[in-house]
Amino acid sequence: MAKKTPAGWTRKHLLGLEDLEAGEIRHLLDAAEKFLPYAKGARPARALAGKPPVPPGPLANRTVLNLFCEDSTRTRTSFTLAAERLGARVVEFQAATSSLKKNESLLDTARNIEAMGLDAIVIRHSDRGAPHAVAEAVQCSVLNAGDDAHEHPTQALLDFLAIRHKLGRLEGLTVAIVGDIRHSRVARSNLYGLAKMGSRVIFVGPPPFLEGLGDIAAPVETSTDLDAILPDCDAVMMLRVQFERHERNVPPGGVALDLEDYKRAYQLTAKRLARAKRGAIVLHPGPINRGLEITDQVADGPQSAILHQVTCGVAVRMAALSLCIGALDRERKIARPHPAQGLIQSDGAPLTPPLSHKGRGRQKRGLSREGRGRGKSSAGA
Ligand code: MLT
């Protein structure tokens, strides 16, 4: 009988939310919920005693590579802490001092480090699809920590966990995602996931930020009028203006934006937030540009879930790493050839793998099925 895999998660990679089913998202969030007590390094008593916080370390002796080829504060730190709190060893790849600078390709870099023994690669890259290409090239798990303006699945999943905590559900909500949608992988992953969970997403921003969305494989609702849509909103997610991507992605000369006009129409102030539904929450993936897309009063105010998002991030990444590596283990178990497989005995018969404990007794007594068969034919020869 085929071995049963745990219901709900069978993927060894986490590359995006476009491909995930609602049930898989729920499964991962439920797993993350269980890790939440460890997301802030709980069990101080154990830590003081020099013991690991999560006994017995479900990923003990595993190795995770943080392959970040773009800047990161939260995501890299969060993946590192998540892996370490599960007992894994983390290798922090430094792109700026690596052989990428000597023109080694990303895939060669990944394959070479994997040849030293890896269980997972966490990759952030400025090229769309880079994590998918690495996943094709290696055997271990690959988790996308953000590729260009394409996807950032663990960010969206941590947003969902924070929303579920603060609002009690993920279904039937209206979520405004406001700002530089065009360059945002966070907006895209959130749209894919929230739509699957039965919520409505409205992308809000000035026209230049709502262009270039043709790559999105889901219906997109947009508005240029934040004040008009706020009364419908249960959650408002503010985005940073990604100046560093403007020139690269929008030739020639980048996006023309008058920052004072932008603030007047889109900055989330306390007055503006008061137009949203009662109890609406404020989200931001970070890094925050205070005084541009959001005021201090809102970022640090009672409706802000921003730091809770960061805490949820560690739990989500603990869940993602353990589920993906769990699926990898099952694949390795199935794929691993038995040491005896392919070996031929002197009489030309294939060498059969050692039998189970039960079978060994039969073999000793000369009763193994294979042995019996071969014995009979050679006796007859
Ligand atoms: C990202 O990596 O996409 C961030 O979390 C959002 C940003 O950089 O503004």
> Looking at the predicted structure, is the pLDDT value of residue 161 above 80?
yes
Residue 192: which of 4, 13, 367, 20 has the closest Cα?
20
Contacts of 153 (CB under 8 A, 6+ apart): 14, 15, 16, 17, 20, 143, 144, 189, 193, 320
Distance CA 124, CA 126 (A): 7
Q: Is 177 helix (H, G, I), strand (E, B) or coil?
A: strand
Contacts of 347 (CB under 8 A, 6+ apart): 374, 378
Distance CA 77, CA 346 (A): 56
Mean pLDDT calculated for residue range 22-34: 96
Contacts of 158 (CB under 8 A, 6+ apart): 32, 309, 310, 312, 313, 315, 316, 317
- Least confident range from 52-56, 132-136, 137-141, 166-170: namely 52-56
Residue 33's H or E segment, with its range, is helix 22-35
Phi and psi dihedrals of 151, rounded to 5? Answer: -145, 155
CA of residue 302 relative to chain centroid, distance: 28
Q: Percent of the chain scored above 90 by pLDDT?
A: 72
What would the two tokens of residue 254 be? 């980048």
Residue 280: its pLDDT value, please? 98
Mean pLDDT calculated for residue range 334-356: 61
Tell me which of 79 and 257 has the higher pLDDT.
79
Ligand 1 within 6 A of CB of 152: yes
> Looking at the predicted structure, is the pLDDT value of residue 257 above 90?
no
Residue pLDDT, tens place only, 351-374: 555 444 444 444 444 333 333 333
Ligand 1 within 6 A of CB of 186: yes
Mean pLDDT calculated for residue range 5-31: 91
Mutate to test the pocket of ligand 1, among 74, 155, 188 (most ligand atoms within 8 A of CB): 155
Residue 341: its pLDDT value, please? 60
Tell me which of 149 and 245 has the higher pLDDT.
149
Asked if 235 and 176 count as a contact pair (C-beta separation under 8 A), the reply is yes
Residues of CATH 3.40.50.1370 domain(s) within the chain? 22-151+311-334, 153-309
Ligand 1 within 6 A of CB of 155: yes
- Least confident range from 116-130, 228-242, 366-380: namely 366-380
Ligand 1 within 6 A of CB of 240: yes
For 328-375, the DSSP string reads: HHHHHHHHPPPTTTT-B-TTSPBPPPPPPHHHHHHHHTT--HHHHHHH
Residue pLDDT, tens place only, 59-73: 999 999 999 999 999
**C-alpha of residue 71 to centroid of ligand 1, in Å:** 9
Residue 350: its pLDDT value, please? 57
Distance CA 29, CA 46 (A): 26
The secondary structure of residue 50, as a DSSP letter, is: T
Ligand 1 within 6 A of CB of 16: no
**C-alpha of residue 181 to centroid of ligand 1, in Å:** 11
Tell me which of 49 and 80 has the higher pLDDT.
80
Tell me which of 43 and 169 has the higher pLDDT.
169
> Looking at the predicted structure, is the pLDDT value of residue 381 above 50?
no
Contacts of 233 (CB under 8 A, 6+ apart): 174, 175, 176, 202, 276, 277, 280
CA of residue 66 relative to chain centroid, distance: 12
Residue pLDDT, tens place only, 169-201: 999 999 999 999 999 999 999 999 999 999 999
**C-alpha of residue 285 to centroid of ligand 1, in Å:** 6
Q: What CATH number does the domain located at 153-309 have?
A: 3.40.50.1370
Ligand 1 within 6 A of CB of 146: yes
Fold of the domain spanning 22-151+311-334: Rossmann fold (3.40.50)
Residue 294: which of 378, 221, 226 has the closest Cα?
226
